[in-house]
């Protein structure tokens, strides 16, 4: 049950409407905004400053960001980024997520089950080689396959040569391809987590709100060859931290933005994709909230999924509101019309105008296939870990014998280790929760595709959705890791011989699911090619240099620590520990505004004026969770963990009046570690950069 | 914001599949199951026993049941039936629903704002007059209008002659029409309510579950001419109450069942209606739960709506599960095929076979119009009291000048007083909650009907859904009762002159909404006529006497106090006060398993072995909430408040193995009133039948 966390953030004007505003932008480290920073802030961005920040930054492959904060391999990220690992370590008897954790000695540090960290080492422009690999006459699937093949070749070559994880990243809607090389770390051990009550104080009601009072941090240590890593680059800790008016930078991995989409693509999201997603999220939220209320153990089992669902639901709500706002869509339509008019006024722009038309046609084809694609291929009809694993086993058997370039992307050689780490993870999977979610998904699938649909009839096998779900979950063996290993090693013959009911279910829909995927990915390819043509024309017409849409790769954002106004009331940039206690009191210390007992006990010892959270105008989005916020000196002054509610449309554009990124303050972190948790050794390591 | 409470219940075989099983049936008081009771229980059902029970039974016009339990006008119902009134009396300072209430003296009894109780006085068969009023050649709308007119005439005549509320009820799918005459009472005063924590202990998680531990009661006193009513009939209280194995009866107003539907009609519910409703319920539940979590006051304001939504959501989930179960639908299909085959084997059955085909065609027309009908006419796109009131004002102005028989049903003379009671109620309406729900509904409307739909464009008036909602709610004056009176009295001219934005919105969609209603109601008429033909043929073929589908009119059910098995584990028929304390302890006394403080304080004083709740096999459904459960002697032994989860498909059929009706036990009520609440005077009134 993976809901990729998408804690969103950000702010600024629509990239498609005008040139980037002052503080808009998720800039490439290979093409940073030197001129803008010099002009607006008198700041000289040097190569050494930039490289140091890049090598100090860490990507959590599970969907977040972090940074090295000591020379002994300590990595800081958000509690909600670490939550996936905390959850997988937890049992009915020991709840790392709820109760928190501290390892006083290295021996007490707990190894995570399937966590992978990536540290970017270098970036190489491979655009010309990728383009050369696609014959000029190729279109649609042929072009996509040719491109997939050359990309797989580049990744494999790089990996074989350097030993580094090597990913070719598509930038500027296919205008550029860059090869990103990462050091991978997989021996990651938990050092410290606060109680979830402290990390996520205010819970879902306060999520995306400001002022905030969250200690949303989690600390891990990276090991290599059984020893703590001693990274050459790590961030120096700023004890005073961020102040109002400071210039600050954010270095992290924004997951995805869609700021250059054409109007038909936005309309598809508005009319098809987001309504469908919100329907799913609402029903899952109701399902898991109702089940969680039945017992403490249910709540523990569902907590991670439920949080992810609530989080994504707020995000999609916010984005849909922007797309349904005539002020937004009208502006986008006018900007697109104006751009097309400027194209018409120029020679040689027929190709770009035709590209706009091709996108509209392709989007229409995707729209017509989207429902079945979402339920059958993206798996919305089969919400369960058991189904995901069963399909992975089936497809691994079918895909791995093929040449690398011809496989479905996730079975490529470059992703093999990540796939295996996930597939063989010993994380707990709960039979009761699996029956619940699969039963509900099959019910939903039957509603949406229709009871009489032949595929639905085949899936249900003559049973009711809930009975079928129970039979499948109780009958499958895929929750046994040894079984998974055996089938993975044995390939498609072993998968067939096992006669596992869940694998056979995945097999029964695989032809249709693959065919839907091919249809949708072909349209993506058409759009990608068309967008590359438009992107080129846009560059010729507008002549401006800007940043590409986010791609879950390392980016640099910058901005000012700055409050804002809401309904005429000023919201200051910083909150303090005193504010945390006030908010708890105003809610009678009731969940989710209850403080962990030690926070009540230690209140008198605290300097209540210490800053706890702060906002800045930096341009960020989901995936930036855990990103370090640094000052001019490159020192760690805070850690990004959220955006305010006004920032929820940042997927499509940066609007700078109210949107803000929210960080935990470095001074608040040290005050809490020393006075509330009494973990001076850890605080000393952060402040001095070395384990005492 | 009315979600008609539909707390469902019930159990037994499908009426359409076979003759009624032993304990199936919601029997007419005018045609009770004397023979079955004699045969199965040796019980002689006398006219005087029946009439006494009928006149002791009370219908809550807001959607529930109750009974007179003292000669001084005391009426008992469920807390969740009284909740609507408790909520309307509450303010930010005094929360009757949460904290409960007790009036120690008559002067302290609080008058409810718009509560109407009905006591059935007589039933008259008017089938031949109704049928005579519809010309044999008339079909579709013509027939419907003719029938509406003759029904309106009968109701008006009866009302003018007797002064009683007079409703013509359609029974047996149009096979019979009965005139029900009620005494109406509108001066209803609150006497006692427990805390909602005690009434609804276990909250949504325990709703529809068993074992249960709820004191789901609420007591009102009926006044007439400013004095307490002294009803000739009221139920004698049984101090010992129900025991395992007892024969018991339930007298109440089951709201609606659909046990004689044809397969195409069931398919419409399965494929169109229920999925759409569940989508709405899920999104409203998420919306109100998230908003409620933001503050105590939000939670108080949304509590009634949220409870109603969660309740209905569980119901629809349960019903949809039955409809998606091939065991259920397959049996229905076979039964229908068999019946048609028997028809084909007989002469003169062409009309009945044709009627089946007409139903299928009519259902298809409804299905194609259902989305717009639901959002525009049923108001799902405008979830707010303000819109409901605005439309009522608009339509009252347009409808009232028409002849009675030509009006939309809810504006008929017979319903005038009820309409005015609702329209001029001074119940609180919260601006913030109105903006929230209307904003979300307009968002949903835009998703479902499409951003570019001309009606949607007209509704949104160039604004985003949320902005438009805020403008409408802040701009309308319909939340001012004096304004409503003025417009109602002034008719359509006053409504037009007011230029109220919400009324103008209702006006702008009224042509389309009325046209959709006409289309759907015409199909309902076609189906109704066809069902009457089938019903007649069914009677000829099957020759059995049975009960009609429920119609929110008084019915008699009977059954046995009896436990059941769940996953092989026996569930006993009765629970005790001891069980209540155990369940609270198992949940750490955390909401919704927390006990009110006085329940903790008084625990030692209680006889913990006293029965609290019990189950019986009586056949009931939503609307039966608050029905008295009586023994052979006609004494009050308990009060219905729920059905277990196995009973959720009882809308379509009674299945007797596990479905159970759940009551509060009469002994538990007295023990709690005396020992926990210390209201001996009230307990004495119940036990002796008169105020001490």
pLDDT digits (tens, 9 = 90+) for A620-668: 998 999 999 999 999 999 999 999 877 777 888 776 667 899 999 999 9
Which of the pair, A692 or A455, is modelled with greater confidence? A455
B333 has a chain A CB within 8 A of its CB: no
What pLDDT, on the 0 to 100 scale, is given for residue A294? 79
Q: How far apart are CA B255 and CA B259, in angstroms?
A: 13
Instruction: Note whether A283 contacts B278, CB cutoff 8 Å.
Output: yes
pLDDT over threshold 90, residue B318: no
Q: Which residue has the tokens 């961030």?
A: A235
pLDDT over threshold 80, residue B242: yes
Q: What is the 8-class DSSP label of residue A134? A: S
Q: What is the mean pLDDT of residues B531-542?
A: 78
To 10 degrees, the CA torsion angle through B17, B20, B24, B29? 130
For residue range B143-191, what is the model confidence (pLDDT) as tens digits? 888 999 999 999 999 999 999 999 999 888 777 899 999 999 999 999 9
pLDDT over threshold 60, residue B80: yes
Nearest residue to B562 (alpha-carbon basis) of B314, B210, B215, B57: B210
Q: How confident is the model at residue A4 (pLDDT cuts 50, 70, 90)?
A: very low
Closest CB from A294, A326, A465 relative to B462:
A326
Q: What is the mean pLDDT of residues A307-322?
A: 87
Mutate which: A200, A313, A447, A449, vs B, most B CBs within 10 A: A447
Closest residue of chain A to B274, computed from CA coordinates: A447
Q: How far apart are CA B79 and CA B96, in angstroms?
A: 11
Q: How far apart are CA A267 and CA A275, in angstroms?
A: 11
Mutate which: A277, A287, A293, vs B, most B CBs within 10 A: A293
pTM score > 0.80 for this model? no
Q: What is the mean pLDDT of residues B410-418?
A: 89
Residues in A closer than 8 angstroms to B332, CB to CB, are: none
Closest CB from B271, B320, B327 relative to A443:
B320
Instruction: Note whether A204 contacts B443, CB cutoff 8 Å.
Output: no
Instruction: Note whether B286 contacts A286, CB cutoff 8 Å.
Output: yes
Instruction: Note whether B282 contacts A278, CB cutoff 8 Å.
Output: no
B567 has a chain A CB within 8 A of its CB: no
**Which residues are bridge partners to A449 per DSSP?**
none
Q: Which residues contact B368 (CB under 8 A, 6 or more apart)?
A: none
pLDDT over threshold 80, residue B539: no
Instruction: Note whether B203 contacts A293, CB cutoff 8 Å.
Output: yes
Q: Are B651 and B260 in contact (CB under 8 A)?
A: no
For residue range A495-554, what is the model confidence (pLDDT) as tens digits? 999 999 999 999 999 999 999 999 999 999 999 889 888 887 876 776 446 788 899 999
pLDDT over threshold 70, residue A291: yes
pLDDT over threshold 70, residue A213: yes
Q: How far apart are CA A166 and CA A172, in angstroms?
A: 19
A465 has a chain B CB within 8 A of its CB: yes
Q: How far apart are CA A617 and CA A615, in angstroms?
A: 7
Strands A117-125 and A569-571: unpaired
B286 has a chain A CB within 8 A of its CB: yes
Q: How confident is the model at residue B315 (pLDDT cuts 50, 70, 90)?
A: confident
H or E segment and range at residue A322: helix A296-323
What pLDDT, on the 0 to 100 scale, is given for residue A559? 95
Instruction: Note whether A275 contacts B448, CB cutoff 8 Å.
Output: yes
Q: Range with the lowest mean pLDDT among A37-51, A638-652, B60-74? A: A638-652
pLDDT over threshold 60, residue B367: yes
B469 has a chain A CB within 8 A of its CB: no
B205 has a chain A CB within 8 A of its CB: yes
Indicate the burial class of A551 (C-beta count within 10 angstroms; 0-12, 13-18, 19 or more): buried
Q: How confident is the model at residue A566 (pLDDT cuts 50, 70, 90)?
A: low
pLDDT over threshold 70, residue A432: yes
B290 has a chain A CB within 8 A of its CB: yes
For residue range A409-427, what is the model confidence (pLDDT) as tens digits? 999 998 898 899 989 998 8
What pLDDT, on the 0 to 100 scale, is given for residue A201? 95
Instruction: Note whether A460 contacts B326, CB cutoff 8 Å.
Output: yes
Please provide the average confidence, as pLDDT, over all residues in chain A. Answer: 91
Q: How confident is the model at residue A140 (pLDDT cuts 50, 70, 90)?
A: low
Which of the pair, A318 or B285, is modelled with greater confidence? B285
What pLDDT, on the 0 to 100 scale, is given for residue A14? 25
pLDDT over threshold 90, residue B11: no
For residue range A270-287, what is the model confidence (pLDDT) as tens digits? 999 999 999 999 999 999
Closest CB from A205, A294, A451 relative to B324:
A451
Q: What is the mean pLDDT of residues B206-219?
A: 93
pLDDT over threshold 90, residue A143: no
pLDDT over threshold 50, residue A8: no
Q: Which two tokens stand for residue A144?
A: 């996509």
Q: What is the 8-class DSSP label of residue B547? A: P
Instruction: Note whether A447 contacts B271, CB cutoff 8 Å.
Output: yes
Name the minimum distance, in Å, from the CA of A132 to any CA of chain B.
42
Mutate which: A286, A440, A460, vs B, most B CBs within 10 A: A286
What pLDDT, on the 0 to 100 scale, is given for residue A22? 59
Q: What percentage of chain A carries pLDDT values higher than 70?
A: 95
Instruction: Note whether A204 contacts B293, CB cutoff 8 Å.
Output: yes
Residues in A closer than 8 angstroms to B289, CB to CB, are: 289
A203 has a chain B CB within 8 A of its CB: yes
Q: What is the 8-class DSSP label of residue B373? A: I
Q: What percentage of chain B carries pLDDT values higher than 90?
A: 75
Instruction: Note whether A205 contacts B285, CB cutoff 8 Å.
Output: no
What pLDDT, on the 0 to 100 scale, is given for residue B659? 81
Instruction: Note whether B290 contacts A310, CB cutoff 8 Å.
Output: yes
Closest residue of chain A to B204, computed from CA coordinates: A290
What pLDDT, on the 0 to 100 scale, is given for residue A20? 37
What pLDDT, on the 0 to 100 scale, is given for residue B13? 23
B450 has a chain A CB within 8 A of its CB: yes
pLDDT over threshold 60, residue A11: no
Name the minimum distance, in Å, from the CA of B463 to any CA of chain A.
6
Mutate which: A272, A287, A464, A465, vs B, most B CBs within 10 A: A464
What pLDDT, on the 0 to 100 scale, is given for residue A326? 87
Residue B523, CA atoms < 13 Å, CB-side half-sphere: 20
Closest CB from B205, B282, B465 relative to A282:
B282
Mutate which: A283, A287, A471, vs B, most B CBs within 10 A: A283
Q: How far apart are CA A690 and CA A230, in angstroms?
A: 10
Q: Are A61 and A118 in contact (CB under 8 A)?
A: yes
């Amino acid at each position: 049950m993976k809901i990729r966390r998408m804690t969103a953030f950000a702010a600024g004007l629509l990239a498609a409407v005008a040139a980037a505003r002052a503080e808009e932008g998720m800039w490439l480290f290979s093409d940073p905004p030197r001129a803008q920073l010099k002009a607006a802030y008198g700041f000289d961005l040097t190569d050494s400053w930039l490289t140091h920040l890049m090598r100090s930054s860490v990507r959590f492959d599970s969907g977040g960001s972090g940074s090295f904060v000591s020379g002994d391999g300590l990595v800081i990220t958000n509690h909600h980024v670490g939550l996936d690992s905390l959850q997988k370590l937890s049992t009915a008897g020991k709840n790392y997520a709820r109760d928190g954790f501290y390892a006083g000695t290295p021996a007490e540090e707990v190894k995570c089950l399937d966590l992978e960290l990536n540290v970017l080492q270098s970036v190489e422009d491979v655009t010309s080689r990728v383009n050369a690999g696609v014959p000029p006459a190729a279109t649609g699937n042929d072009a996509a396959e040719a491109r997939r093949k050359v990309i797989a070749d580049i990744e494999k070559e790089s990996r074989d040569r350097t030993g580094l994880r090597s990913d070719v990243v598509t930038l500027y809607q296919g205008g550029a391809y860059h090869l990103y090389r990462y050091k991978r770390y997989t021996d990651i051990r938990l050092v410290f987590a606060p109680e979830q009550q402290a990390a996520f104080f205010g819970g879902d009601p306060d999520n995306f709100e400001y002022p905030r009072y969250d200690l949303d941090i989690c600390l891990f240590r990276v090991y290599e060859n059984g020893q703590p890593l001693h990274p050459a680059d790590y961030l120096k800790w700023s004890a005073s931290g961020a102040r109002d008016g400071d210039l600050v930078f954010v270095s992290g991995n924004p997951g995805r933005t869609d700021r250059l989409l054409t109007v038909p693509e936005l309309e598809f999201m508005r009319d098809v994709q987001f309504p469908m997603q919100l329907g799913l999220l609402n029903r899952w939220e109701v399902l898991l909230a109702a089940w969680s209320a039945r017992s403490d153990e249910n709540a523990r089992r569902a907590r991670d999924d439920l949080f992810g669902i609530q989080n994504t639901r707020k995000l999609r709500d916010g984005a849909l509101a922007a797309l349904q706002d005539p002020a937004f869509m009208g502006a986008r339509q006018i900007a697109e019309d104006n751009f097309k008019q400027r194209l018409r006024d120029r020679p040689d722009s027929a190709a770009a105008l035709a590209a706009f038309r091709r996108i509209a046609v392709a989007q229409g084809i995707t729209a017509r296939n989207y429902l079945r694609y979402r339920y059958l291929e993206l798996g919305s009809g089969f919400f369960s870990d058991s189904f995901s694993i069963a399909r992975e086993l089936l497809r691994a058997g079918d895909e791995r014998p093929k040449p690398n370039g011809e496989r479905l992307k996730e079975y490529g050689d470059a992703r093999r280790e990540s796939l295996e780490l996930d597939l063989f993870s010993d994380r707990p999977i709960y039979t009761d929760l699996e029956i619940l979610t699969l039963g509900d998904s099959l019910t939903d699938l039957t509603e949406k595709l229709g009871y009489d649909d032949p595929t639905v009839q085949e899936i249900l096998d003559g049973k009711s959705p809930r009975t079928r779900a129970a039979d499948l979950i109780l009958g499958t063996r895929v929750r046994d890791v040894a079984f998974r290993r055996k089938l993975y090693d044995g390939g498609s013959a072993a998968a067939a011989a096992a006669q596992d009911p869940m694998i056979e279910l995945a097999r029964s829909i695989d032809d249709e699911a693959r065919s839907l995927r091919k249809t949708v990915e072909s349209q993506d390819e058409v759009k990608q090619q068309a967008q590359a043509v438009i992107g080129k024309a846009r560059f010729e017409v507008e002549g401006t240099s800007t940043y590409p849409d986010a791609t879950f790769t390392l980016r640099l954002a910058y901005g000012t620590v700055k409050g804002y106004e809401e309904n005429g009331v000023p919201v200051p940039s910083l909150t303090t520990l005193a504010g945390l206690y006030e908010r708890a009191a105003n809610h009678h210390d009731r969940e989710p505004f209850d403080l962990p007992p030690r926070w009540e006990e230690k209140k008198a010892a605290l300097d209540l004026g210490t800053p706890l959270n702060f906002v800045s105008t930096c341009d960020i989005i989901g995936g930036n969770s855990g990103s370090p916020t640094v000052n001019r000196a490159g020192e760690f002054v805070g850690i990004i963990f959220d955006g305010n509610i006004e920032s929820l449309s940042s997927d499509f554009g940066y609007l700078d009046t109210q949107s803000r990124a929210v960080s935990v303050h470095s001074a608040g972190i040290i005050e809490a570690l020393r006075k509330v948790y009494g973990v001076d050794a850890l605080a000393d390591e952060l402040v001095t950069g070395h384990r005492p």
